[in-house]
Amino acid sequence: MRTKRAMEDAIHGLFLLLGLVTVGCVLLITVYLIISGIPAIREIGLVDFLFGPEWDSAAAEPKFGILPFILTSVYGTAGAILLGVPIGFMTAVFLAKAAPPKMKAVVSSAVSLLAGIPSVVYGLVGMLVLVPGIRKIFHIPDGSGLLAAIIVLAIMILPSIINVSMTALEAVPREYEDASLALGATATETWFRVSVPAARSGIAAAVVLGVGRAIGEAMAVMMVSGNVPNMPALFQSVRFLTTAVASEMGYAGAGLRRQALFSIALVLFLFIMLINAALNFFLKRSKEK
């Protein structure tokens, strides 16, 4: 009896320890980011840093304004959501309600496969197919830029949107739909007037998850967006918050320039915290229902 108890305690302790490792990592990263991100912001000035329209860290008189990066990240994410959500949402409705079982199996596994493709592959395909394609279709000298990044991001967020909204739609009680059908509504009316409103918290969570994925993506975006710190425009070469950190980190050496990159990371971190908070809010609401 006693040994059994001791064993139980030991295993309990082990699990606790493993759990604490995760929490410790999060704490470590948060504390480190804040400590290393604050000095540069202090030196440059919060307003100059966040709203400065020009970034040129390597010049003789360096400029550290990250407004172009913030706007690009916001525009790029918004564009990806605008393109990706309708497609993903419709696919989810189709898979959850309309698709015959065989079709559903095929499409679902295709969606899972899409989720498993590494982001550098998206970037490579974008660079080899999408960028030259945009150049030819729109007759512009170079296809890389915000539009290419938006398209790549829209495809990358599809799996999260489809999977999460599909789960939400499937969780709608059968009785709701039966009642609607019994009242004489058609199948389509039932999906959009009954099932979708009943699952809206879950669908909102899917969108927020998509936003989180889009704003945090670096590799694929870096390969197709041109990566010049311009103010964003559809065909303009742009740089995101993520790629701003990734593209200069390798060389930045010491001093203000490196610290400024940590400050960008801190801004990005805050964005993602905000999105996570929103996600938790929506998920909690959908559970309470």
Partner 1 sequence: MKKIITLVLTLVLTLSLAACGSDSNSNTDNSDNNDSAAVTGTVSTDGSTSMEKVIGALGESFMAANEGVEFTYNPTGSGAGITAAQEGRCDIGLSSRALKDEEKAGGLKETVLAYDGIAIIVNPENPVNDLTLDQIAKLYTGEITNWKDVGGNDAEVVLIGREAASGTRDGFESITGTKDKCQYRQELTSTGDVITAVSQNPDAIGYASLASIKDSVKALNVDGVTPSEATVKDGSYKVQRPFVLVTVEGKELTPVAQKFFDYITSPDAAAIIAKAGAVAAN
Q: How far apart are CA 208 and CA 223, in angstroms?
A: 25
Supply the minimum distance, in Å, between the C-beta of residue 42 and partner 1: 23
Task: Catalogue the E-assigned strands of the chain.
Answer: 55-56, 63-64
137 binds partner 1 (CB under 8 A): no
Whether residue 149 contacts residue 239, with contact meaning beta carbons closer than 8 Å, is answered with no
Supply the minimum distance, in Å, between the C-beta of residue 73 and partner 1: 17
Residue whose structure tokens are 């604050």: 38
Choice between 205 and 261, CB closer to partner 1: 261
Using CB under 8 A, which of 53, 86, 118, 132 touches partner 1?
132
Report the amino acid identity of residue 101: P
Nearest residue to 89 (alpha-carbon basis) of 143, 164, 2: 164
Supply the minimum distance, in Å, between the C-beta of residue 250 and partner 1: 7
Stretch near partner 1 under the rule CB under 8 A, chosen from 50-58, 111-119, 182-190, 278-286: 50-58
Choice between 62 and 216, CB closer to partner 1: 62
Supply the minimum distance, in Å, between the C-beta of residue 76 and partner 1: 16
Whether residue 108 contacts residue 202, with contact meaning beta carbons closer than 8 Å, is answered with no
How many residues bind partner 1, per CB under 8 A? Answer: 37
Chain centre distance of CA 50:
21
| Beta strands at 55-56 and 63-64: parallel, antiparallel or unpaired | antiparallel
66 binds partner 1 (CB under 8 A): no
Nearest residue to 84 (alpha-carbon basis) of 144, 145, 165, 140: 165
242 binds partner 1 (CB under 8 A): no
144 binds partner 1 (CB under 8 A): yes
Nearest residue to 127 (alpha-carbon basis) of 154, 141, 148: 148
Nearest residue to 168 (alpha-carbon basis) of 257, 95, 107: 95
Angle ∠(126,204,209) on CA atoms, nearest 5 = 40
Radius of gyration of the chain, Cα coordinates, nearest whole angstrom: 23
Choice between 57 and 167, CB closer to partner 1: 57
Supply the minimum distance, in Å, between the C-beta of residue 241 and partner 1: 15
Using CB under 8 A, which of 7, 10, 14, 25 touches partner 1?
25
Using CB under 8 A, which of 69, 156, 195, 248 touches partner 1?
248
Supply the minimum distance, in Å, between the C-beta of residue 228 and partner 1: 5
What is the contact surface with partner 1 in residues (CB under 8 A)?
A: 17, 20-21, 23-25, 27-28, 56-60, 127-128, 131-132, 135, 141-144, 222-223, 226-228, 237, 239, 246-248, 250-253, 257
